Structure 1
Amino acid sequence: MARLDRLAPVRGIAQIGAAIGREFSYELMQAVSKLADHELSPLLDQFVASELVQQRGSPPDALYTFKHALVQDAAYETLLKSQRARIHAQIAEAIKRDFPEMSARHPDVLAHHCSEAGLFEEAIGYWLKAGHLAAGRFANIEAAVNLEKGLELLDRIPADAVRDRTEFELWAALGPALNVTRGYGAPETIAAYEHARDLLRSVNDPSRSGPIYHGLFSAYYSRANFDKALETGKEFLSRAGDQADASSLCIGHRMIACAQNSIGDFALALDHAEQALANYDVDRHGPLAWRFNHDLGVSARCHLGISLWHAGYPERSRAIEREALEFAANLNHPNTIGYALYFAGGISAVRRRDPEALADCARRLGAHAKHHGLPHWSARSAWFEALAILAHGSAAEAIVRIQAAMGLCGQVGNYSFRPAMLGGLAVANLAAGRADEALRVADEALQVAEQTSERGFDAELWRVKAEAVLAIGESNAQAMAESHLDTALQVARSQASRMLELRAATSVARLWIHQDRTTEASNLIGPVFGWFTEGFAEPDLQDAKNVIDRVSRC
């Protein structure tokens, strides 16, 4: 500060430089100060000689950097508020006038100077542009910061239709950024989408409703509010009406398919997933991944794969899931890759009882999530890792890991698949010889399923309950187990899940064989197995075939 005071002729240059930032160029300093070369060069030479700044290069290409942030702050503090606003306005004007490339590549710099100059409407526009630019290169933390700075300034401009439109644009852009950085179900993510939805009416632009409803759907889905998620998908299709274009149909049907798979209405999910995929066009809809957080076609394939598996077509399911993974890799959109690895990779491996594929997917998803800063997929990869550990016989470690993964999912506001996670925890407890705890956890999972309407795992949970009851071994264990397995069978049938029906029928048949009820076992499992036309290498079908062979030898 004392050295600055002794450099009176340089004081004005130091103040402008401090307002520009820690580093400033000769050209920008000249544009703002409006000094000729013969006036500016000696002043900057004197400034450099004071050892308060360092110089790189020679004018007009020279760059100057304050040696310490404290020096910059000290120079800036010598300005009155009115002087600061005037200089920031001059900097903003110079950048817009003389540095078009900087304006285009660094709108955040213009946003900062306009904010400090009190040019709030301009500043908000530049913060919005900076947010879009950052999101376009998947720098979502930066995007969120820029957009939130724009929102903070809204109260500084008049309340009118223009402000409503600007506010809508900010919230609409912030939602996807928060999806990635905070998680789909984080409270701030939901708030962003709800603000945008509430502003849709005043904006009166139906073409913008797709990303908003889709984002809101994803948030409700992650919070395990499946009734509200389904309602959101149906409302979107209803708003689109009879004149809905292919994009709207793809979005709406995909949302409903996703919700119905979780709720356990697999036949309806299959119908909507097929309609979503039929309306998808990669050339037209591929670029929309940046607005929807993941590609609509990849997502439709993931949920079509789930419903095809339940419908009893495991080979067709696996083929469509491979397509989803290939499409995701070709699109090279980080969150879409995470989505495909989760649904078409890990969840598929869990259903198919493929521990090697599950372990591989856990590794790939975890590395991908870490590289791209995707906390929601990182939490899910931890769950897959735990299940892979369980499959390889380390039940005690798996229990700890599953509980930790559930905690990580909760931290990012993601509570979907909680019944499945609890089901895996029950199985781990069974493997560890803790049958009483397994039964308690299975009951908890069914309670969560009832509370959230996520009933797609109910049949498996009843089957796990039956195994726990048998392991406990009370006097009425076999009767109770048979009752639980019958419930599993009825649930699978009511949900149109051929695969879970087969799995439950196999368990019932095993129990009946143990009770010397081989004819009943044969009459049950034979027709269920006989329906299938593909997937005979799948573990579930092989288990059923082994039971049938065992019955035939009795």
Structure 2
Amino acid sequence: GDAVARAAASGVLGPEQVVFLHDLLDLPQAGEWHTLYDAMDNAVRNRGKRAVVETLAADACGNGPTMIIVEDLHWADPQVMGYLSAFATAVARGPGLLVMTSRVDSDPLDAAWRASCRGTPFTTIDLGPLRSDEAMTLAGTFVDATQRIALACIARAGGNPLFLEQLLRNAEEGSGESVPATIQSLVLARMDRLAPLDRQAFQAAAVIGQRFGLALLRHLIDQPDYVCDGLVANALVLPEGEDFLFAHALIQEGAYSTSLRARRRELHRRAAGWFAPNDPVLCAQHLDRAEDEQAPRAYLDAATVQRAAYFTDAALRLVQRGLDIAHNNEDRHALMCLKGELQRDLGDIVESIATYRAAVAAAPDETSLCQSQLGLAEGLRVNEGLAEALALLDEARQTAERHDMVPELARLHHLRGNILFPLGKIEECRSGHEQGLVYARRSGLPEAEARALGGLADAAYAQGRMRSAFEYFSRCVALSREHGFGRIEVANRSMVGFSRIYLNEARQAREDGLAAARAAGLVGQPRAEMLSETIGVFASYELGDAKATRAHLDREMRLIRQLGARRFEAQNLEMRARLLIDDGHRREAAVLLREALAICREVGTQFSAPKALGALSRAVEDNVERVQVLTDGASLLSRGAVGHNHLWFYRDAIEAMLSAGDAAGALSYVAALDSYTRAEPLPWADLFAARGRALAAALQGRPDEALRCSLECVRDALADAGFRSFLPAVVEALAA
């Protein structure tokens, strides 16, 4: 904690980088950062941690010449290799030096790793065997190098400094004239001269690993007062803080090989019991070395813990090891399902689908089959296999209901609702999420409840029930924030702003969008960031802030092109056209709108085509063409479209009719807007319907006190809401 505070206070790390330092130091995330970190995908977290490592190393070099030493690189996993590339990049800005050692046959510094270091210069030094004179010099530090036993040790070592050092120590201890032939036989010879308890401890320590703690060693040998003085005196282990290290990895390996297999298995089993409460990964690994039948299940538990701690790559490696040794069908199936989940977490949808297909084929019982069908359907939903996904859910539902699998039913109905949404079956989508919410609350799982609320909000938005949508989205975000469900919060946060606009709270909606964009940018969710910029476009346009609208449009378009989100490209062009209409450039606006409609016809008309036709009705100058455009728009609405299309189309149609001097036409669309929101009245719709009625009455030339009162009420309401661009026509009517 103190190190984090110092790094933040010094300004070396930005506020948004502290979250990654917490992860590196295994410290808990606090407050909003816990939620944001949960929302990040694995790649974003890894990039963030590498950037922090690089920043801290570069700062150290900037404060003075720095050397970073990393030994035994051959044991490094991919994540550690990523940190080392960050070190290498930092020291290149110097003055700094990164020194790494590795076995030649396991050297991980391949071409891809070197490329990741962005041009950092490297020098590789291959350490060959000691020359004769060097070996003689080393031998002279132990015994008379000219003695026959010393010469025999030099000859036997073959230039290996570790082997020579241990041979010479063996000679010092008075082992006679014989010279062991291998490291293993040498370790055995030196071990034989240890006191019995030290010998037992030496072998037990080798089971723990290269580094070991005294408390665990005492536990393994049932000697609560044991100390390592004898092992240290014989230079077999070295003190390292509160722990101990074997003098060399080969000594540890040699000691390990001297134990009988049954004894090693028993020691590993005892070590697993020691680690079980606090370190599920080491527990699983020791059970594995003990050849215990519980090892695959332990790997499953360890991987689950690693996933929860955001170590997705490590979790996947643990699952794979569990699968390598699993013989029990239940264990194999559970591991396969988790593997599919992890692959989806990592964005590898194709591999996740393949894994779940194998899990479906290998399911040992009906309930296991249900769980793997849900996982497969989740992948197919992302990969556009919607028909197959629905069929799988129908099968899984029968099993889940028969066995009253409440959490699975909550997930199933949520998933079903999500699949039905893009198919335009909004009422069925809403029903699915309502059932999902019931099961989520029965299961007592807040995450399932938050997902169900988000699904209900989407359905309400699609049906134009914006007040309900706002309430559902707000509850979803609040519940997600309370429990740290970052991915759910970030995905739904911008939608609070979208629905808030229709409550005539556009100013707050714009703030919602800015906060959502910041959060999405921090966690690396470009789609959520794009939606946040979209709400900025909508809110700024409603507020009559053309400059801010253009800025949001530009940022949104960059994200649209990054994602290839063609539906949003069409809407972006439409909103640009609206600004042109407001500036009087109707012909240029019509060109953009026809381009937007061409994209809509390519990717689907339900999302924004009616809204674009509404804008086009304001851009065209020919009355006949305007009527046809509005007829086409109404036809698209009748076939089904997302709720905002109805609201914007009717407002545009009212405006187009008023501009054309057609009061009766304007009133017909006022009636249509009233009808659409009758089931759930909406402040936005009520305001623009009132504006349309008042302006139509003014157009009909019937000025009276009641009309003036209506116009003044509309003027004041528009001003209160901040809808500046819709005020001039009302002010003009009042002045007439």
TM-score of the pair, normalised by structure 2: 0.57
CA RMSD across the alignment? 4.3
Matched, 1:382 2:529: yes
Which residue of structure 1 lines up, in the alignment, with residue 124 of structure 2?
A: none
Please report how far the alpha carbon of residue 109 of structure 1 lies from its aligned counterpart in structure 2 after TM superposition. Answer: 1.4
Matched, 1:196 2:359: yes
Where does 1:163-174 land on structure 2 (aligned, <5 Å)?
164-174=329-339
Please report how far the alpha carbon of residue 529 of structure 1 lies from its aligned counterpart in structure 2 after TM superposition. Answer: 1.0
| Equivalent residue for 2:661, pick from 516, 522, 531 | 516
d(CA) in 2 for partners of 1:489 and 1:216? 39
| Equivalent residue for 2:577, pick from 430, 441, 449 | 430
Segments of 5+ residues of structure 1 without an aligned counterpart are 58-62, 290-294, 411-417, 450-454
Identity across aligned pairs (percent)? 14
| Equivalent residue for 1:100, pick from 273, 290, 307 | 273
- Do the aligned residues in 2 keep the contact of 1:165 with 1:203 (CA within 8 Å)? yes
- Do the aligned residues in 2 keep the contact of 1:254 with 1:272 (CA within 8 Å)? yes
d(CA) in 2 for partners of 1:221 and 1:483? 38
Please report how far the alpha carbon of residue 130 of structure 1 lies from its aligned counterpart in structure 2 after TM superposition. Answer: 0.4
Matched, 1:205 2:382: no
- Do the aligned residues in 2 keep the contact of 1:387 with 1:424 (CA within 8 Å)? no
- Do the aligned residues in 2 keep the contact of 1:257 with 1:268 (CA within 8 Å)? yes
- 1:352-390 Cα offsets, whole Å, 9 max, x none, are 79655555445555666688xx65xx2233213422553
d(CA) in 1 for partners of 2:684 and 2:453? 23
Matched, 1:53 2:238: yes
Where does 1:292-303 land on structure 2 (aligned, <5 Å)?
295-303=447-455
Which residue of structure 1 lines up, in the alignment, with residue 305 of structure 2?
A: 133
TM-score of the pair, normalised by structure 1: 0.73
- Do the aligned residues in 2 keep the contact of 1:422 with 1:442 (CA within 8 Å)? no
SS in 2 for 1:203: coil
Please report how far the alpha carbon of residue 351 of structure 1 lies from its aligned counterpart in structure 2 after TM superposition. Answer: 7.5
- Do the aligned residues in 2 keep the contact of 1:426 with 1:464 (CA within 8 Å)? no
- Do the aligned residues in 2 keep the contact of 1:217 with 1:233 (CA within 8 Å)? yes
d(CA) in 2 for partners of 1:360 and 1:14? 64
SS in 2 for 1:280: helix
Task: Name which structure has the greater RCO, CA cutoff 8 Å, separation 6+.
Answer: 1
Which residue of structure 2 lines up, in the alignment, with residue 271 of structure 1?
A: 431
Which residue of structure 2 lines up, in the alignment, with residue 341 of structure 1?
A: 493
Q: 1:30 to 1:313 in 2, by over 3 A?
A: closer
| Equivalent residue for 1:551, pick from 688, 696, 703 | 696
Amino acid at match of 1:259: I
Please report how far the alpha carbon of residue 24 of structure 1 lies from its aligned counterpart in structure 2 after TM superposition. Answer: 0.9
- Do the aligned residues in 2 keep the contact of 1:463 with 1:485 (CA within 8 Å)? no
Larger Cα Rg: Structure 1 or Structure 2?
2
Which residue of structure 1 lines up, in the alignment, with residue 379 of structure 2?
A: 219
Amino acid at match of 1:107: P
- Do the aligned residues in 2 keep the contact of 1:257 with 1:273 (CA within 8 Å)? yes
Q: 1:36 to 1:227 in 2, by over 3 A?
A: closer
- Do the aligned residues in 2 keep the contact of 1:230 with 1:255 (CA within 8 Å)? no
Please report how far the alpha carbon of residue 169 of structure 1 lies from its aligned counterpart in structure 2 after TM superposition. Answer: 0.7
d(CA) in 2 for partners of 1:75 and 1:322? 61
Q: 1:203 to 1:74 in 2, by over 3 A?
A: same
Segments of 5+ residues of structure 2 without an aligned counterpart are 1-160, 174-186, 192-200, 581-587, 700-736
Amino acid at match of 1:44: V
Which residue of structure 2 lines up, in the alignment, with residue 64 of structure 1?
A: 244
Which residue of structure 2 lines up, in the alignment, with residue 414 of structure 1?
A: none
Please report how far the alpha carbon of residue 408 of structure 1 lies from its aligned counterpart in structure 2 after TM superposition. Answer: 5.9
d(CA) in 2 for partners of 1:503 and 1:367? 28
d(CA) in 1 for partners of 2:454 and 2:601? 25
Matched, 1:493 2:638: yes
- Do the aligned residues in 2 keep the contact of 1:312 with 1:498 (CA within 8 Å)? yes
d(CA) in 2 for partners of 1:242 and 1:517? 62
SS in 2 for 1:317: helix
Please report how far the alpha carbon of residue 237 of structure 1 lies from its aligned counterpart in structure 2 after TM superposition. Answer: 3.0
Kindly indicate which of the two structures has a greater share of residues assigned to helix: 1
Where does 1:244-283 land on structure 2 (aligned, <5 Å)?
247=407, 249-277=409-437, 279-280=438-439, 282=441
d(CA) in 2 for partners of 1:394 and 1:498? 25
d(CA) in 2 for partners of 1:439 and 1:362? 28
d(CA) in 2 for partners of 1:266 and 1:384? 21
Which residue of structure 1 lines up, in the alignment, with residue 472 of structure 2?
A: 320
- Do the aligned residues in 1 keep the contact of 2:615 with 2:652 (CA within 8 Å)? no
Which residue of structure 1 lines up, in the alignment, with residue 40 of structure 2?
A: none
- Do the aligned residues in 2 keep the contact of 1:266 with 1:496 (CA within 8 Å)? no
Amino acid at match of 2:615: E
- 1:30-71 Cα offsets, whole Å, 9 max, x none, are 5667899778431134438xxx733334xxxxx2247xxxx7
Amino acid at match of 1:145: A
Please report how far the alpha carbon of residue 129 of structure 1 lies from its aligned counterpart in structure 2 after TM superposition. Answer: 1.7
d(CA) in 1 for partners of 2:627 and 2:519? 44
- Do the aligned residues in 1 keep the contact of 2:617 with 2:629 (CA within 8 Å)? no
Please report how far the alpha carbon of residue 4 of structure 1 lies from its aligned counterpart in structure 2 after TM superposition. Answer: 4.9
Which residue of structure 2 lines up, in the alignment, with residue 463 of structure 1?
A: 611
Please report how far the alpha carbon of residue 122 of structure 1 lies from its aligned counterpart in structure 2 after TM superposition. Answer: 4.9
Amino acid at match of 1:64: F
| Equivalent residue for 1:154, pick from 323, 326, 331 | 323
Amino acid at match of 1:384: L
Q: 1:194 to 1:222 in 2, by over 3 A?
A: same
| Equivalent residue for 2:652, pick from 501, 507, 511 | 507
Which residue of structure 2 lines up, in the alignment, with residue 452 of structure 1?
A: none
Equivalenced residues, count: 496
SS in 2 for 1:54: strand
SS in 1 for 2:235: helix
- 1:321-372 Cα offsets, whole Å, 9 max, x none, are 33323333344444443454365x355458879655555445555666688x
SS in 2 for 1:47: coil
- 1:128-159 Cα offsets, whole Å, 9 max, x none, are 12012234xx21324x523433325635565x
- 1:309-332 Cα offsets, whole Å, 9 max, x none, are 444533233233333233333444
- Do the aligned residues in 2 keep the contact of 1:482 with 1:508 (CA within 8 Å)? no
Please report how far the alpha carbon of residue 228 of structure 1 lies from its aligned counterpart in structure 2 after TM superposition. Answer: 4.5
- Do the aligned residues in 2 keep the contact of 1:261 with 1:456 (CA within 8 Å)? no
d(CA) in 2 for partners of 1:42 and 1:155? 40
